[in-house]
Amino acid sequence: MKKNLILLLFVSCQLFSQNPEKLFNEGNKQYKLSNYSEAISSYEQIESLGLISSELYYNLGNCYYKLNQVAPAIYNYEKALLLNPLNEDARSNLVFAKRLTIDAIEEIPKTIFQKLDGSIVKKLSYNEWAVVSVIFSVLGALLFLLFYFSFTPSKKRLFFVTSVLSFLLLAITLFFTMKEYAYTNTTVEAIIFSKEIDINNAPTENSENIFTLHEGTKVLVLDSVDNWRKIRIADGKTGWIIADKMKLLTFF
């Protein structure tokens, strides 16, 4: 009985020590004390429990930034934005972190549609666009019912026009939802973690080195062969890199 009681107390202590709120508060406390490595340890324990949030990755990014670890800082800011594109603090700090990178890569000029996509569609995740779609569907249905049961001509016109507008916005937001869902599920991005890595023109050790990348650079993953990944950078250049030289922007 005594052994069982001791075991129960031990398990209770372990569960308490793994309390996410306690760990998060401890991480914040250590960050304020400039104990950034200890703060990282607390935040990463939360992640290991399968509990993630934009704020968690934002805090991790801040810790790594304070430690001048460029790649992990950028990596965590990017993950914070994947979970919440409206996290302006993460977006702002990502700009500062990118200034610490060595590679100065000029992006291919964007078309007007790509600019609109970035300034409007990418502002919300596909889950958030789905919520907006549901709101417009409910609003459109309610306005149509009001139109149907109204007897005053002016009110019928008002409810008819607003219900049509709601259904039009529903169609647009549904399109955005599907577009973002397809993009999220087909696009794989990564951050270079090596201080310096040569990019090859083929997935072999003895292939030609065509350009060099440094830590913190964001790449698009196009293909894979064994432990090699084909990547493309912002200026359109492509090449092959060993998989463990970078970390994918995915969750678990």
**Do 232 and 168 reside in the same domain of the chain?**
no
Q: What is the C-alpha to C-alpha distance for residues 213 and 205, in angstroms, rounded to an integer?
A: 17
Q: How confident is the model at residue 244 (pLDDT cuts 50, 70, 90)?
A: very high
pLDDT band at 3 (very low <50, low <70, confident <90, very high): very low
Which of 98, 123, 147 terminates a domain? The answer is: 98
Task: Supply φ then ψ for residue 171, to 5 degrees.
Answer: -65, -40
Q: Is 242 a member of any domain?
A: yes
Which of 17-21, 28-32, 98-102, 150-154 is predicted least confidently? 17-21
Domain end: 135, 152, 186, which one?
186
Assign residue 216 the CATH number of its domain: 2.30.30.40
Q: Which of 98, 127, 158 is the last residue of a domain?
A: 98
Domain residue limits at 216: 188-248
DSSP 64-77: HHHTT-HHHHHHHH
pLDDT tens readout for residues 164-203: 999 999 999 999 999 988 888 888 999 999 999 999 999 9
161 and 175 both lie in a single domain? yes
A 10 A CB-CB count for 155 gives 13
Same-domain pairing of 140 and 197: no
Question: Where is average pLDDT lowest: 101-115, 175-189, 203-217, 228-242?
Answer: 101-115
- Which helix H or strand E contains 17, and what residues bound it? helix 2-17
Q: Which amino acid is at 242?
A: I
Q: Are residue 19 and residue 64 in the same domain, yes or no?
A: yes
pLDDT, one tens digit per residue, over 9-25 is: 333 344 444 688 999 99
- Edge-to-edge strands of the sheet including 228-232? 209-214, 196-200, 238-242, 228-232, 218-225, 188-192, 246-248
> How high does pLDDT run on average in the chain?
89
Q: Supply the CATH number for residue 27's domain.
A: 1.25.40.10
252/1: higher pLDDT: 252
Going by C-beta distance under 8 Å and a sequence separation of 6 or more, which residues neighbour residue 91?
77, 81
Does residue 106 sit within a domain? no
Residue 128 covered by a domain: yes
Note whether 126 and 170 are same-domain residues: yes
146 and 233 share a domain? no
Q: Phi, psi (5° rounding) for residue 152?
A: -80, 125
Tell me how far apart the alpha carbons of residues 201 and 196 are, in angstroms, rounded to a whole number. 17
Is the separation of the CB atoms in 230 and 239 below 8 Å? yes
* Domains of the chain: total: 3
Mean pLDDT of all residues in 44-63: 94
86 and 20 together in one domain: yes
Give the integer Cα–Cα distance in Å for 144 and 156.
Answer: 9
DSSP SS3 for 242: strand
Which amino acid, one-letter code, is at 7?
Answer: L
